[in-house]
Structure 1
C-alpha cells in the first residue's frame, strides 16, 4: 500500500523528526536530506558535498 502525504503532513513529520534530535538537529537533518537524495556517494563524508547539506564547520566548532 503506497504512502501518500500532503506537503503539510510531510512538513509536520519533518518537524517532529527534527525535534527528536537533542544535539546538532539541523546538521542531522541536512545529513538525512543528503543521504536520501544521493545514491552514489562513495562515503558518508562525500554527502557533505551534496547541495542539500547546508552545514558548514570551522575549526572552532570541534565540540559536540
Structure 2
C-alpha cells in the first residue's frame, strides 16, 4: 500500500469519526460505533493519529 493511499484512508477515517458517520471499509466502519463517545473516540483514533505523526516525522507525503 502506498503512502498516498494510507494518507487518504487516514483523512477519510478521521473525518468520518469527527462526523460520526461515513462510508469506510470493513473494520474501519466498525470503529464508527464509538464516534459518539468522546473518550472512546480518542482511543479509537489514537493509532491512526500516531501513524499520521510518524509519516509526518519521516517526511513521507
> Do these two structures clear the TM 0.5 threshold for a shared fold by scoring above it?
no
Relative to total residues, which structure has the larger helix share, 1 or 2? 2
**Which of structures 1 and 2 has the bigger CA Rg?**
1
Higher RCO, 1 vs 2 (CA within 8 Å, ≥6 residues apart): 2
What is the TM-score normalised by the length of structure 2?
Answer: 0.29
What is the TM-score normalised by the length of structure 1?
Answer: 0.28
